[in-house]
Amino acid sequence: MPPVIHTENLIKIHKQGNLEVVALQGLDFTMNEGEFISVVGKSGSGKSTLLTILAGFDRPSAGKVMVAERDLTDMSLKDLTRFYRRDVGFVWQDFTRNLVPYLKARANVELPMLLAGVGGRKRKKRALALLDAVGLRNSAYSEVQTMSGGEQQRLALCVALALGPKLLLADEPTGELDTETSLEIYELLRGLSHQGGLSVLVVTHDVALAQRTDRIVRIADGRIATQGRMGQEELVAIDQRGMVQLPRDMLIESGIGDHVRVKLIDDGILLQPEEDSK
Ligand SMILES: Nc1ncnc2c1ncn2[C@@H]1O[C@H](COP(=O)(O)OP(=O)(O)OP(=O)(O)O)[C@@H](O)[C@H]1O
Ligand SMILES: [Mg+2]
């Protein structure tokens, strides 16, 4: 199966007046179909820039980008518009951007289908099925304004998935939510990916959330710094003073530098990089 995302030497230079910012500098990245991947990295490392290019909202300055077997590099504006409306689902960090506040939940999910010319009965059926899948069946006729943040986030997911894209891109989709609700959303995404065959790429600052995905990709200075499979385990010794030597590759992968934040959690002790922890 061809990869759902493939970039080669991707470069993006943002121009602001006569100022140039190199946001992506030769980024190579491949994502297979059905994967659930998180992208992490410091503020300004190029995460959002990458996502907007993959979504077809913006064009790269140079390099190659293939998404869902389409070459986005030299696509006409018309095709690109069609592409981002139909072939990818996008959830904004501010997920209210996905929603029309005065419409009911079901009407929100039907809207992209309405615009794409899907018939009434089919729209209703698909909207209810999607709402059901995210546990919002009972809120189908609630107005968005009356729904909680977590409910609105799940609704935003339904809107992004309304036209049945193969790929879902989400930029900090749970940035505004509490930890418990965020974990629920990640479990939902995992289910959509593992059971529904959807490819899911999320940007997050939160290491604990990233660890819920199949693979963490770290971006630094507009390039992929590390990418590895999560869940590797190693047994390390603790000496009498409580000193532990952490495996070097894990340290690099985790982005932990000179200091580490240590936190007691239900099932052990969590080590997190200074900058990323909350
Ligand atoms: N439209 C733009 N015009 C000019 N510079 C931009 C633009 N968008 C992003 N940049 C710059 O490009 C670099 C990468 O920005 P980007 O938003 O992709 O980072 P990010 O990893 O998403 O950061 P954050 O974690 O803060 O969201 C930054 O230096 C940023 O200031
Ligand atoms: Mg960003």
Q: Return residues with CB closer than 5 A to ligand 2 (ion).
A: 47-48
Q: Is residue 205 part of a domain?
A: no
Q: Beta strands 199-203 and 260-265: pairing type?
A: unpaired
Q: How many domains would you assign to the chain?
A: 1
Quick one: how many helices (H) and strands (E) in the chain? 8, 12
Place of tokens 């710094």: 225
For residue 42, the ligand 1 atom closest to its alpha carbon is 25
Residue 218 domain-assigned (yes or no) = no
- Three-class SS of residue 186? helix
For tokens 């630094």, the residue is: 220
> Which atom of ligand 1 is least distant from the CA of 219?
21
Asked whether residue 245 is domain-assigned, the answer is yes
Question: Is there an atom of ligand 1 within 6 Å of 47 CB?
Answer: yes
Question: What span, in angstroms and rounded, lies between the C-alpha atoms of 259 and 8?
Answer: 34
21 lines ligand 1 (CB under 6 A): yes
> DSSP label at 147?
S
Distance from residue 91's CA to the centre of ligand 2 (Å): 13
What local confidence, expressed as pLDDT, does residue 203 receive? 94
Parent domain of 241: 235-278
C-alpha dist (Å) from residue 91 to 52, 88, 115, 262: 11, 10, 18, 32
Which DSSP symbol is given to 134? T
Q: Is residue 25 part of a domain?
A: no
**Token reading at 213:** 């995905």
For residue 59 the two structure tokens come to 């064009």
Regarding the beta carbon of 64 and ligand 1, being less than 6 Å apart is answered no
Cα–Cα distance, 232 to 227 (Å, whole number): 13
DSSP 33: T
Return d(Cα 118, Cα 180) in angstroms, integer: 36
Nearest ligand to the C-alpha of residue 44? 1
Q: Which atom of ligand 1 is nearest to the CA of 41?
A: 21
In short, whether 44's Cβ falls inside 6 Å of ligand 1 is yes
* Predicted local distance difference test score (pLDDT) of residue 225: 77
* pLDDT tens for the 278 residues of the chain, in order: 789 999 999 999 999 888 999 999 999 999 999 999 999 988 899 999 999 999 998 999 999 999 988 899 888 888 888 887 788 999 988 888 889 999 999 999 999 999 999 999 999 999 999 999 889 999 999 999 999 999 999 999 999 999 999 999 999 888 778 888 889 889 989 999 998 889 999 999 888 888 889 888 989 888 887 666 556 667 778 888 888 888 766 776 777 878 899 999 988 998 888 874 44
Task: Give the ligand 1 atom nearest the CA of 203.
Answer: 22
Residue nearest to atom 25 of ligand 1 (CA): 43
Minimum CA distance residue for ligand 1 atom 6: 14
Please indicate, yes or no, if residue 268 is contained in any of the structural domains.
yes
Examine residue 129 and state whether it is found in any structural domain, yes or no: no
Residue 69, CB-side half-sphere exposure with 13 Å CA sphere: 5
Residues 6+ apart with CB under 8 A from 176: 93, 94, 95, 149
- In three-state secondary structure terms, 229 is strand
For residue 172, report the distance from its CA to the centre of ligand 1, in Å. 14
CATH number, domain with residue 243:
2.10.260
Question: What is the pLDDT at residue 227?
Answer: 65
Predicted local confidence at residue 83, as pLDDT: 80
Q: How far is CA 1 from CA 8, 73, 168, in A?
A: 18, 21, 18
User: Cα–Cα distance between 38 and 151 in angstroms, integer?
Assistant: 22
> Does ligand 1 come within 6 angstroms of the Cβ of 45?
yes
Q: Say how many C-beta atoms besides its own lie within 10 A of residue 271's C-beta.
A: 17
Q: Is the CB of 48 under 6 A from ligand 1?
A: yes
Instruction: Measure 171 CA to ligand 2 centroid, in angstroms.
Output: 7
Does 15 map to a domain? no
Q: Is the CB of 16 under 6 A from ligand 1?
A: yes
196 lines ligand 1 (CB under 6 A): no
Instruction: Please give the distance, rounded to the nearest whole angstrom, from the Cα atom of residue 229 to the centre of ligand 1.
Output: 27
Q: Are 212 and 187 in contact (CB under 8 A)?
A: yes
**Residue 114 within a domain:** no
